[in-house]
Amino acid sequence: MTTLDLRPLSIGELLDRTFSLYRRNFALFIGISALPQLLVLALQLAQIAFLPSRAALPVVPPAATEFQTRAVQFSTGSAFGIFGLALVGIIVYLIAYLFSQGGTVFAVSELYLGRATTIGQSLSRVRGELGSLFGVIFLNGLVTGISFLLLIIPGIYMACRLCVCVPAALLENLGPRESLERSFGLTKDNAGRAFLIFLLYVVILYAALFLFDIPFAFAIQSAAHNPSVLRVWTALMQVGNFVATILITPVLTIAFAIFYFDLRVRKEAFDLQLMMNPLAGGVPAPPAAGSLLS
């Protein structure tokens, strides 16, 4: 694997490099995304299979009185069981998301440094970073969420400024606060380019959902009065959502990992650093000048 051409990229070149890297290493990135998400899919299918047939299905009966009657029939144990499954589902989804995000970033980094990598190697590197990665994503979500509460535009702006905090955390071994400050410094004067990446991802995401989810949603509505058929269509919709997730999620992660390297080339001459020290095992970086929380 040869090192990618490290130079300042236009937004078109950045997106082209994203899809080129994804296409050339399709099995690698799909594997990194799919293996953790298989746990989520298995749990979702188990919920559909083992919960009471009417309670497990997401379609509300058309008659409110019938719905209320069924609600009364739930035992306290059933309610706690459903709550417990939902809590387990959230935990499993979060772990799967952390592994797929971290594994993809590590894979992109290895390819940029001219080294081959595997699905197992990329995912195994995430295990020691789970706590830090969770903190980064939580703090990022908190800051962005508060910004959205102020007004929509500040929320979008903060999301664009903090878009490379995960690569910064994993590749520079930074804590949650330092990662957000690092991203805020790197993306100065580049929020518009980040917004275009987000915009393209949203378009692709909705196209994938329309292709893999909407047909099953219509089928669920048509089978609303047939619980056994409804269960099958619900399971198929979860499978379709799984396919859409593993296909589309890597696009955004790869794009922002490449964006991270592009920003470092532009602002820190990372390409020259790599040329002078091609055998460096990591991706060291000087502290960012920009500050968000200090």
CA–CA gap between residue 221 and residue 101 (Å, rounded): 34
CA angle, 241 as apex, 79 and 40 as ends, to 5°?
A: 50
- Decide: 171 and 214 in contact? Cβ < 8 Å: no
CA–CA gap between residue 25 and residue 110 (Å, rounded): 12
Residue 159 has a CB neighbour count (10 Å cut-off) of 20
- pLDDT for the residue numbered 143: 93
Task: Please state the separation of Cα 138 from the chain's center in Å.
Answer: 13
Element housing 83 (H / E): helix 76-112
DSSP letters along 168-207, please? HHHHHT--HHHHHHHHHHHTTT-HHHHHHHHHHHHHHHHH
- Token pair of 139 as six digits: 């703090």
- pLDDT for the residue numbered 283: 60
Q: Which residues contact 4 (CB under 8 A, 6 or more apart)?
A: 17, 21, 111, 112
Consecutive 10-residue runs of the chain (294 residues): their mean pLDDT? Answer: 67 93 95 92 83 49 46 53 76 92 94 87 92 94 90 90 95 93 94 95 90 85 80 88 91 95 85 55 49 47
- pLDDT for the residue numbered 25: 95
- pLDDT for the residue numbered 270: 65
Long-range contacts of 154-157 (CB under 8 A, 24+ apart): 156/195, 156/198, 157/191
- CA torsion sign, 165 to 166 to 170 to 174? positive
- SS3 of 239-284: the string is HHHHHHHHHHHHHHHHHHHHHHHHHHHHHHCHHHHHHHCCCCCCCC
- pLDDT for the residue numbered 271: 56
- pLDDT for the residue numbered 51: 62
Secondary structure of residue 5 in the 3-state scheme: coil
Residue 62 has a CB neighbour count (10 Å cut-off) of 9
